[in-house]
Structure 1
Amino acid sequence: MAELPVSFIQVTDIARVTPHMARVTFEADRLDAAVGTSPDQQVKLCFPLPGQDRPVLPEESDDATSWYYAFLAIPEDERPTMRSFTVRRRHPGSDALEIDFVLHGETGPATRWAGSARVGDQLGMVGPSAVYSRPVSLTDSIASSDWLLLAGDETALPAVGTLLEALPEGARAVAYLEVADAAERQSFETAGDVTVHWLHRDGAAAGQSEVLVDAVREATFLPGRPFAWLAGESGTVRSLRRHLVNERKLDKRAIDFSGYWRFKLTQDDAPTTEDMAEAQERLAEAGQE
């Protein structure tokens, strides 16, 4: 069983990337050597409950399953809320890292925390680990394709940033990125040959707009074989993937997809039938590699 690194991280700086995206810099009590070494690297953040200075967590374990059972054994009135995030950047030669938070009101524990976070606040961090997030091999993806297709909403921007910034010189990529409006656009440094299409909901609620799916459906693709990376609201990601497989005839193995969130549902809600089907398909594809 894979190891599951566990650490506590403390806020050292908070900056606004856009009106609704906060970049929080943390200093960790210690960071696993793997943190920040690859793009699209996911971790679990644990948020303290009201009245707690920092979350209550089990000690680190070499057995990820045992650690998670110990986590679930924490009394409900003490157990922290856990959510998935992407490491945006690790500061070289240090135990400092940056994580971006989408600010969308009082709709969940993570955005509530980020909206009121202060220097000195502490969270728990679990991972990175292949137990819950298969790392993206950008080198293999580029080698097996002619260009990269990236599609996602604002929750995918931290991962998109790491992917674009990791591209080798001249690698071709096209990104379709859905955000609320023009003020939410970001800039990314990259050595690749990248075209970014910013798509604005302009008043439509996140998860209810078809702008991203419509843009990909109507797009004229570059010649050659693409490798597709899709992330964001689960229903949107499923629609994009069905389009790429059924209409664009992409091999399923040439698509990396992840539903980061679900419209009107949280990570604490029970998985839907579609969620379970998606999880089973991801496991089946992983077993074929």
Structure 2
Amino acid sequence: MPEMPEVETVRRTLEPLIKGKTIKKVTVWYPKIIMGDSQKVADRLQNKTILGIDRYGKYLLIRLSDDLTLVSHLRMEGKYRLVAKDTPKQKHEHVQFLFDDGTALRYDDVRKFGRMHLVETGTERQTTGIRHLGPEPNSSEFTFNYLKGQLAKKKKNIKTSILDQSIVCGLGNIYVDEVLWQSKIHPLSTPAKIPVKQVKVLYDSINATIENATELRGTTVHTFLDADGMMGGYQDRLQVYGHAGQECPRCGTILEKIKVNGRGTTFCPHCQVVYK
């Protein structure tokens, strides 16, 4: 699933491709991608101009004229690409936005998990999945005291806790494995038992990793491509994710992989301390 750095990379590459374009027609080949009545949404989008794109967590917020916002979640494998209007439709393209200049924005999603929700601008936090999200890394709301307080209340293991988007949004499986390794915290540790100094290391690691991954345009380990069709660059910096069975870069111990709440989890059994 694209995580916050990947979605931000999509935003940065997609916005200059479509900003200022006016939607002539919307074609929906797979209606379930659209929340609500897909035909009514398609009709409502006609003649709307794209003003820009914002993002919160893993959600893209495509700002439109007449105070409308199309909230888009890419889920596992959603992608956008700009094509000429007569480009043959690809198998996994499910929605098309035809613009008045003859170009078309296509939404491609192999698994069909992505969703688009058209709402009044300014209501995103009340009417969409964004209402369930906690603060983003590197934001003024995401303070050390906030994270410490949230973890002190959690009974589930630390991996599950920081994957919880209501605590901190934008982190997924890749970056959680990385920040726990950086912090020397075992993924099965009890959050409330982790020493304050290690929580501070974790907090700093979350912020730094998301910032660095964003600068490198995200991580491509499976299918992630930005709106220009380019791969990310952070995969070359991964220390543990995808490296099970290899030596720990820090101590040389063989990295192990287990399932934590159904998620594949790679860690160092020597470096990462279990706090119980």
Shorter-chain-normalised TM-score: which range?
A: under 0.3
Q: Which has the larger radius of gyration?
A: 2
The structure where strand makes up a greater share of residues is 1
Q: So what's the TM-score if we normalise by structure 2?
A: 0.26
